[in-house]
Structure formats: structure tokens, C-alpha cells
Chain A
Amino acid sequence: MSTELLQQIITMGAALMLLISFALLSQKRMLSLLHWFALQGIVLAAVTALVGYTSDNTELYVSAAITLLLKGMLLPWVLWKIIRQMHVHREVEPLVNMPVTMLIAAALVVFSYQVTLPIEHLSHLITRNTIAVAMANVLLGMLMMITRKKAITQVVGFLAIENSLFFAGVGATYGMPLVAELGVAFDVLIASVVFGLFFYQIRDTFESLDLNKMEK
């Protein structure tokens, strides 16, 4: 298939991923946070499938299907169930106020761009410029984990980082080998189960999912 088309798809995907990362950072309500998170999974799955189609890489269909089911549907739904079941306060509570967070986020994007600049000049793969976006996404996910109080928001941040990594794999290299992709998917699944277990343990022990209560 045409590389032009592939480039368009990946560029659009990268733009959406970055937009979603910013949106995740700026959400104030849990429900909309989860909506954006689910959207991230869906965009990821769509990009993966399209890249698989245009580059004739059937392995990517498997990845896309897993991504869609796991990250686009299952995990957001489970998280929402947990929020409802545990009567978690439905506001996201940031530790740093929004404008500052957003400015830091913008700085991180510039930083990633600077760091990956030498690669972009060297490489001849057409998708190389997504590395900067992927790196920015990873850093934004970390920012989200650092600046949020609640355990659930931290987990969303963690999963968003996983998504960005996945995108890095798809966007920059047309997908890592299947064993790596499956390994990562498996890991996300298991990690989510462990996270789930912990929600209950934390709630039972501290009667809240607010992490400040954990730091005595």
C-alpha cells in the first residue's frame, strides 16, 4: 500500500494520542477521564489495525483486537465498576493546579521533541517522528501519576503510559514482534488484576482510595 497513506494515518494517530494525553491530564471528573481513556484504547486499536492493513502485517490485527477489547472496553468498564462499587469521590483531585500542570506538560512535549531530534534526522523510516510524540505521551502519563491523589487516577496514568508505549511500538517500528506485543498485553492484564486486588485491599485497610491517607 502507499506509504503516503500510512504516513497520514500514523500522523493523525499521533496527533490524536497527544491530544488524548492532554485531555486525560486536564479532566476533572472521573467519568470523563475514563471516557478519554477508553477513547485512547480505541484510537490505538484503530491505528494498529490500519497500520497492519497498509503495511501488510497480519500480526498487527491480533494486537489491534486485543487492544480494542482490553484497553478500549474491558479496563475502562472495570475501572468504572470499581468507582461505583467503592463509592469513590467522582472528582479527580490534582495535587498541582491545572494551569501549572498543563504548562509542565507543554514543556515536556518540547523536551521530548528536543531529545528525539537527532534520531529524526538520522532515520529513514517514515514513522520516525512519532517517537517524539510517543515519548511525550509517556512523560505526560508519568506527570499524571505524579500529580494525582487517587489510586485509580494513578492506575489510569499507568495504563496510559502502557498505551503510549504500545503506540511507540506500532508507530515507530510498525509493531514489535508478536511475542513482545503479546507479552505486553499479558502483562497489562495481569497488572490490572493486581491493581484490582489492591483497590480492595487499600479500601478495606484505609477506608478510602486517597493515597494521602497511606502516607502516614
Chain B
Amino acid sequence: MTILLVNIAQILLMVLAAPMAAGIVKKMKARMQNRQGAGIFQPYRDLSKLFGKEMVLADHASWIFRAAPYIIFTSTVLAASVVPVIVVDSPFSWTADVIALAGFLAIGTFFTALAGMDIGTVFGGMGASREMTFAALAEPALLMSIFVLSVTAQSTNLSVMIHHILDAGILLKPSIAFALIAMLMVSIVENGRIPVDNPGTHLEVTMIHEAMLLEYSGRHLALIEWATQIKLVLFATLIFDLFFPWGISTAVATSALLIALGLWVFKLMLFFVLLVIMETALAKMRLFEVPQFLSTAFFLALLGMFMHYILEVGAQ
């Protein structure tokens, strides 16, 4: 029973803390650029304001446009529920499958793009077409890099994979290093961060993700923004789970849970610092370079897979 509660708690933690995480990233970035920046709780205020606002719907918006925000938010929360945050095992751990995870994320992406096209504005269509182009490349790369770990652990279940990595101890395997790099590259694209997309811009020529959301307002917009914030934390947590799971609690004990929580926050902060440094230091790449960036990620993951079979399996 407690484990069920802990599980629900960790899902809630991820969902509720996500806006704060986004606030922290923004704050760090502002500091990095010698600005004061808004407080870390600003995203909560933004969200609550948006929830309170009246929605403006375009005349020819279909049901897809109205349903999309709920679908996106739900699929993201479902994806978040798959990823262990502080405790590995749960009554639902059999659902914690990486393929399901990728599927949930794909549903979100798909509906964002559909909604973008639904209104028929130029920007929506443009953003949707870009998003789908990249998604078509990003999904295989994401799956490939996860599969590298899956074949090592011989399972696609996240809990089993985490257990495997925890048991194997510190691994200096080339395959995993390659998969990690590929995973980081995909995360950048999936979350629309610099150097691929800029979440803070509304410049027509370059925007991808924001272009699809231009027509949204009020509650709808709030849900989508929230989903985006969750997605960032989700990817960070996934990377921790797959590559640096140390510290995550395998049993339901208060102390272990607290340590796991503390470590998770610590890892998250570290991740954000790196993200912010990268976003500040790098210039956004040109749009047509993104497919190349993604195929590099895919090939890195593929190389990782080769490495696993050739060098690591062959050695046994």
C-alpha cells in the first residue's frame, strides 16, 4: 500500500515540480546573462493566470483543436508515470516499458502537430511540418539509444533495466557512452532547446514548437505549457534512470526515499546547469542542419548498438 502511495507521490512530484524546474532554468539563464530574471515560482503564477483567462477559439477550430491540449497533457503525465523518480519498483512496474514511454511521447508530439495544422494558419502548418520532420528522425534515435541499454539488460522494462545497471556497478562501456550522447542530443530536440529550437522566441523564421501553439490561449495554453515543462523534467529523469540511476531507492524506507529524493534534485540541478551553460554558449543552428544533428544522434546510438554486440557480447 505504501509503495502505491510513494508511486503516486513521485508522479505528482514530477508533475507539480515541473513548473518550478522551468522557473529555475529561466532564473539560472538570466543570471548567466547578467540579468535579474523572474523568480523561480513565476511559471506557477503564469499558469494560474492562464487558467483563469477566457479562451479565444478560432471560428473554424475543430474538435481536434479543442481536445489536443487535454490529450497532450494526459499523454505527458502518463509518460511521466512510467518513469521511476525515486523508487524503482511499483505495483505498476510492468507498465514501465520504454516502448510505451516513447509511444506516449509520440502521441503528444502528434497531437501538437495536428492542432498546429487544424486552424490552417501559416505558422501552425509550418511549425507542424517541421516538428514532424524532426520527430520522424528523433523517435528512431531515441528508441535506438534506449535499446542499447535494453539489449544490455535484456529487457525493455525500465525497472528491470535500472536494476540491471545498479547490479552491474559503474560501467565503462563504450556502447553506453555512445547511447548517452545520442540520448542527450535527442532530448535537446524533443524539448525544443537551443541549439535546435529556442523556447523563448517567437521569431517566425526559426520557431518550431512555439509556432504550433500560437493560436492557443487561456486554459488550453496553460495545459500545453505545463506539459512542455513536465517533458523537460521527464527527459532529465529518464536519462538519470538509464545512465546514472545510483541513489534511486529500491525499497520503501523513509531514509532511502529521502536520499533518493535529494539525489534526484541534485542531479536535476546539475543537469540544468549544464543545459543553461550550453544554451548560453551555443548559437542556434540553422534549421536544415537539424536533420543532420538528429541523424548523427541516430548513428551514435547505432554505433553504440554495434559496440555492444561486437565488443561486449563478443567478449563473453
Using CB atoms and an 8 Å cutoff, list the residues of chain A in contact with chain B: 7-8, 11-12, 14-16, 18-19, 22, 26, 98-99, 102, 106, 109-110, 113, 120, 126, 128-130, 132-133
Contact = CB atoms under 8 A, between A and B. Distances in A.
**Chain B interface extent, by class:** 20 to 34
Contacts of A106: 299, 302, 306
B203 interface: no
The winner among A7, A15, A110 for most chain B CB atoms within 10 A is: A15
6 contacts: A8-B172, A14-B311, A15-B311, A98-B292, A110-B306, A113-B306
B314 to A, nearest CB: 4
Contacts of A109: 306, 310
A130 B172 CA distance: 17
A102 B303 contact: no
Contact of A133 (B292, B295, B299, B310): B310
Contact of B172 (A12, A14, A18): A12
A129 B172 contact: no
A106 B314 CA distance: 18
Given A15-B307, A113-B310, 17 more contacts: A7-B315, A15-B177, A15-B303, A98-B295, A99-B295, A102-B295, A106-B306, A109-B310, A113-B309, A120-B314, A126-B315, A129-B310, A129-B311, A129-B314, A130-B311, A132-B310, A133-B311
A19 B179 CA distance: 12
B303 to A, nearest CB: 6
A187 B177 CA distance: 36
A26 B314 contact: no
A27 to B, nearest CB: 11
Interface of B: 172-175, 177-178, 292, 295-296, 299-300, 302-303, 306-307, 309-312, 314-315
Given A12-B172, A15-B174, A15-B178, A128 B307 contact: no
Q: Which 9 pairs show the lowest CB-CB distances between chains A and B?
A: A15-B174, A129-B314, A132-B310, A120-B314, A11-B311, A15-B307, A109-B306, A129-B311, A113-B310
A110 to B, nearest CB: 8
A104 B57 CA distance: 49
Contacts of B309: 113
B31 to A, nearest CB: 34
A102 B297 CA distance: 12
A114 to B, nearest CB: 11
A129 B314 CA distance: 6
A11 B306 contact: no
A130 B175 CA distance: 14
A24 B307 CA distance: 18
A8 B171 CA distance: 11
Given A113-B306, A113-B310, A11 B315 contact: yes
A121 to B, nearest CB: 9
A8 B175 CA distance: 12
A214 B252 CA distance: 73
